[in-house]
Amino acid sequence: MSSTTAAAVRDVRYEPEEQPPPALALGLGFQFAMLAVAGIVLTPAIVVRAAGGSEDFLSWATFAALAISGVTTVLQAVRVGRIGSGHVLLMGTSAAFIAVCVTALIEGGPGLLATLVTLSALFQFGLSTQLSLLRRILTPTVCGTVIMLIPVTLMPIMFGMLADVPDGSPPAAAPTSVIVTLVVTVGVTLRAAGVVRLWAPVIGIATGCAVAAWFGLYNTRLIAEAGWIGLPAEGWPGFDLQFGVAFWSLLPAFVFVTLIGAIETIGDGVAIQRVSRRRPRATDYRVVQGAVTADGVGNLLSGLAATVPNTTYSASVSVTDITGVASRMVGVYIGAVFIVLAFLPKFMALILAIPGPVVGAYTIVLMATLFVLGMRVVVEDGVDYRKGVVAGVGFWIGLGFQNELIFAEALGAWSGLLGNGMTAGGLAAILMTLFLELSRSRPHRLRTALKADAYPAIDKFLTEFAKTRRWSAAMTDRLRAVGEETLLTLVRQDEEGGGEERRLQISARHDGRAAELEFVAATDESNIEDRMAVLGDRVAGHAVEQEVSLRLLRHLASSVRHQQYHETDVVRRRTA
């Protein structure tokens, strides 16, 4: 049985809907914002300086990036309608866009960058609304592989920061700062309990900063020269609407990188749900859709402001897992801190002055946790040899391209994209998954109304499908029973919802010695996987009949997958 089971309760102190003490939520939000603000500001700084941009535009780009990250982090947490995940998903500038953004600035300046980012954001909105159609391509295996490749992509930068000290520093300065930060952070995380464990990140960084200051690594001059309150001298640069050769040559690259960023967000949307609940639940893909939509809003705002696009920061998952606090109020406070910091240059300088060895050492802990989480996403989806090949080959291709071990000199113009391990490995995993889907046998399909009266047509459809495969009477009866119980379960959910009658599409496909049935219908608030996981609870009244159907499904089907999207309900059964 691959549906959600009654696994051990996770050590989660506060779930998303629960309210921690305001001081605790503010403290966690503050420390997380402190850890992420450097990365948010440094990405546009790298882009502008690499393209030879002015200092005035650099001030504007970093200010806009931090303010937009704050707004979209709040949006992710509070979930306005269908926008946002309702979880702690920190938003920040995306390093995957560095290469294409530098090229855009060189070829056409800030105006061209604004136009390209804005138009590519529209693609992300379309991806969010049609996510259910891509469910067989953007699978948990693909998303988990991308999550595992995020540390592969970032770790070279983090390892470089371990030795990032000014010339003339004592030889022991960097190694000592790294070791102290790493030992304290890991030690507190592994052995501390209760409230102390929640402060593991800030304890580790504070201790590392104290050691670094002893060696003279903490840059107090940067803090002294920064103003207390300020706005950038240069404002919005406007759009470049000439749509010349540079625009058309760069647009496909921007769309592709946007897709890669969306896959990362999908992976984060899946992963944050795994660490935010005490008891395991089936992944709610409406949450994932909301996360991708909020990501699109952030990219749109970034385009309007002519700065680097943003994405979800996967460290959100690691920190939530480490602290055990998943309350969305933490996300609200994180976003609020970002917005305030955007107007406080001196306080931002205080954070940017944290020495590289300290930041790099702490990030090692976060990235290690994230890598294991990506493995968990792949494994919990059920690994057969096909999924193993997709995840394994995709991961090693990403690792090879990231470290310039695969045709590095032959990539030419593609080096900016494929030189990124997450991009190369994610694309490889997508192509392999697409090949698997296209090479499978064509499914038999039936379209009907979602109502009990449709059972005779469904039963006939499944019987004829079994005959084409020359299955035994026992296997045919098992297949028919699965179809009947699934229909009854969906019909009861639809009746409880009180909505108008929905359409139902059934696909039947032969997969080796098993049959795979897929029911695509109207969505419902409850998830069949979750309901099957708690069948041991006592029920009464009309719920008894539903429990019988769910128990029969658990007995008859070797696996049950229920994916919920907005307006779409996908229930997949595998019968062997």
Query: Looking at the structure, do residues 415 and 468 belong to the same domain, yes or no?
Result: no
What would the pLDDT profile of 393-412 be if each residue is shown by its tens digit? 988 888 888 777 777 666 66
What token pair was written down for 207?
A: 């201790």
What pLDDT, on the 0 to 100 scale, is given for residue 533? 41
Query: Looking at the structure, do residues 275 and 385 belong to the same domain, yes or no?
Result: yes
Share of the chain above pLDDT 70, in %: 75
Query: Looking at the structure, do residues 381 and 246 belong to the same domain, yes or no?
Result: yes
Query: Looking at the structure, do residues 407 and 474 belong to the same domain, yes or no?
Result: no
For residue 338, tell me if it sits in a domain: yes
**CATH code where residue 506 lies:** 3.30.565.10
What token pair was written down for 279?
A: 């008891």
What token pair was written down for 116?
A: 């390209």
Query: Looking at the structure, do residues 71 and 220 belong to the same domain, yes or no?
Result: yes
Query: Looking at the structure, do residues 428 and 489 belong to the same domain, yes or no?
Result: no
What token pair was written down for 366?
A: 């976060």
For residue 1, tell me if it sits in a domain: no
The pLDDT of 501-518, averaged and rounded, is 71
For residue 197, tell me if it sits in a domain: yes
Q: Is it the case that residue 9 has pLDDT exceeding 50? A: yes
Q: Say how many domains are in the chain.
A: 2
What pLDDT, on the 0 to 100 scale, is given for residue 72? 93
* End residue of a domain, out of 389, 407, 437: 437
Between the alpha carbon of residue 465 and those of residues 53, 443, 444, the distances in Å are 64, 10, 7
For residue 143, tell me if it sits in a domain: yes
Query: When comparing pLDDT for 350 and 125, which is higher?
Result: 125
* End residue of a domain, out of 415, 437, 459: 437
Query: When comparing pLDDT for 340 and 18, which is higher?
Result: 340
Residue 444 carries which DSSP code?
A: E
Helix-helix angle 315-323:22-50, to 10 degrees:
160
What would the pLDDT profile of 416-454 be if each residue is shown by its tens digit? 556 667 778 888 888 998 888 787 777 778 888 777 788
Query: Looking at the structure, do residues 425 and 493 belong to the same domain, yes or no?
Result: no
For residue 336, tell me if it sits in a domain: yes
Instruction: For residues 482 and 574, give the distance between their C-alpha atoms in angstroms, rounded to a whole number.
Output: 9
Model confidence at 68, in pLDDT bands (50, 70, 90)?
Answer: very high
What pLDDT, on the 0 to 100 scale, is given for residue 351? 65
Query: Looking at the structure, do residues 424 and 483 belong to the same domain, yes or no?
Result: no
Query: When comparing pLDDT for 385 and 298, which is higher?
Result: 298
What would the pLDDT profile of 342-394 be if each residue is shown by its tens digit? 888 777 667 667 787 887 787 787 778 778 877 877 887 677 788 888 888 98
The pLDDT of 37-65, averaged and rounded, is 77
What pLDDT, on the 0 to 100 scale, is given for residue 67? 92
Nearest CA among 146, 70, 62, 157 for reference residue 363: 157
Query: Looking at the structure, do residues 391 and 529 belong to the same domain, yes or no?
Result: no
Query: Looking at the structure, do residues 427 and 455 belong to the same domain, yes or no?
Result: no
Model confidence at 512, in pLDDT bands (50, 70, 90)?
Answer: low
The pLDDT of 158-179, averaged and rounded, is 81
Query: Looking at the structure, do residues 538 and 497 belong to the same domain, yes or no?
Result: yes
What is the extent of the structural domain holding 567? 444-575
What pLDDT, on the 0 to 100 scale, is given for residue 362? 78
Instruction: Print burial letters for 219-236: b (CB count within 10 Å at least 16), e (below 16).
Output: beeebeebeeeeebebee
Query: When comparing pLDDT for 28 and 150, which is higher?
Result: 28
Model confidence at 562, in pLDDT bands (50, 70, 90)?
Answer: low
What pLDDT, on the 0 to 100 scale, is given for residue 301? 93
